[in-house]
């Protein structure tokens, strides 16, 4: 009988000043989620091990050591006279410690988000199965997160990888720029997967693009990429571009802000035409509101550098299309 209890944590005997708040833990039936959502429990175990704290005896019939109520979310406290860790539900916690509601709320929110993410992941997996798309996400993750360096315990310094070294980690024996393209593919796949988990579905266009990405990622090897590269160059070569004054219609692919170390700092842009040719030059002031992705048109003097790429200068009559 609860009201017969007279142990130190019972409602009758509890001494608020003897308890120090540690953290909030979650013990619901899907408690393994907590490992995904914040790891408060592991933090608690570490603290207990480091400080030699033991769990106190629970004299109540429930999960709150004080009133015995059942509670999935509990505050963990150190009972300072005994160095024992005990747990209180939110109501009893308010008796010994005020102002901790936000910690409970934050934990509830983390659990809620983790549940949503798990449901989203399951749904995303089902969507991929419906579309008969299979992809090795472990390999995608590995390629996407190739580190830019490594820390040496012995020398206490970080060694940064060169582009070539990173390329070797991504895909051994593959030309550097191709390896980095593979990494970009992995990153885009991950972004799209995250969107699918978050929003639950893709548009037809996105499905088509995702298939293309998976195909490129899965069939990645030096030969097929080199072949693709050659085919792309061939396509570009089919269109001849002469040096001289001409109209350029295309989309802004990237914008580079002025670099103050330059001798003549100015804003630059890369414009890509529908046929794949790219042109790099000074951002026309008439396009001041334009952003990456905007379609533009202007006249300029073109100097071809290589197949598919040239510089433009003295742009005039620039407009957004």
CB closer to Zn ion out of 23 and 176: 23
Smallest separation (angstroms) from Zn ion to the CB of 43: 23
CB closer to Zn ion out of 70 and 119: 70
Give the footprint of Zn ion on residues 158-217 (CB under 5 A): none
CB closer to Zn ion out of 86 and 171: 86
Smallest separation (angstroms) from Zn ion to the CB of 90: 8
Smallest separation (angstroms) from Zn ion to the CB of 34: 20
Which residue among 44, 85, 92, 271 contacts Zn ion (CB under 5 A)? 92
CA angle 194, 202, 270 (to 5 degrees): 75
| Residue 14 touching Zn ion (CB under 5 A) | no
Smallest separation (angstroms) from Zn ion to the CB of 37: 24
Smallest separation (angstroms) from Zn ion to the CB of 87: 9
CB closer to Zn ion out of 67 and 103: 67
Give the footprint of Zn ion on residues 28-87 (CB under 5 A): 64, 66-67, 69
Number of residues counted as binding Zn ion (CB under 5 A):
6
Which residue among 38, 75, 89, 315 contacts Zn ion (CB under 5 A)? 89
CB closer to Zn ion out of 22 and 171: 22
CB closer to Zn ion out of 15 and 234: 15
Give the footprint of Zn ion on residues 232-261 (CB under 5 A): none
Residues that bind Zn ion (CB under 5 A): 64, 66-67, 69, 89, 92
């Amino acid at each position: 009988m609860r009201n017969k209890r007279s142990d130190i944590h019972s409602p009758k005997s509890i001494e608020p000043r003897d308890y120090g708040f540690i953290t909030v833990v979650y013990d619901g039936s899907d408690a393994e989620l907590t490992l995904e959502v914040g790891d408060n429990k592991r933090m608690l175990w570490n603290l207990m091990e480091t400080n030699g704290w033991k769990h106190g005896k629970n004299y109540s019939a429930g999960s709150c050591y004080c009133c015995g109520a059942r509670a999935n979310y509990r505050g963990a406290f150190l009972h300072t006279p005994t160095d024992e860790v005990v747990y209180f539900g939110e109501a009893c916690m308010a008796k010994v410690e005020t102002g901790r509601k936000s910690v409970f709320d934050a934990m509830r929110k983390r659990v809620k988000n983790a549940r949503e993410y798990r449901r989203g992941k399951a749904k995303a997996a089902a969507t991929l199965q419906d579309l008969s798309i299979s992809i090795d996400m472990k390999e995608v993750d590995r390629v996407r997160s190739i580190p830019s360096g490594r820390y040496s315990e012995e020398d206490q310094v970080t060694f940064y990888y060169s582009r070539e070294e990173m390329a070797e980690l991504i895909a051994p024996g593959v030309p550097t720029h191709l390896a980095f393209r593979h990494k970009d593919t992995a990153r885009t796949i991950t972004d799209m997967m995250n969107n699918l988990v978050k929003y639950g579905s893709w548009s037809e266009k996105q499905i088509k693009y995702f298939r293309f990405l998976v195909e490129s990622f899965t069939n990645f090897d030096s030969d097929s990429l080199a072949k693709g590269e050659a085919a792309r160059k061939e396509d570009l070569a089919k269109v001849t571009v002469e040096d001289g004054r001409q109209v350029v219609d295309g989309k802004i692919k990237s914008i580079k802000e002025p670099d103050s170390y330059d001798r003549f700092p100015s804003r630059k842009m890369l414009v890509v035409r529908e046929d794949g040719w790219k042109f790099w030059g000074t951002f026309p002031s008439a396009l001041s509101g334009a952003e990456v992705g905007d379609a533009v048109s202007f006249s300029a003097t073109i100097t071809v550098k290589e197949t598919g790429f040239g510089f433009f200068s003295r742009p005039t009559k620039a407009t957004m299309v």
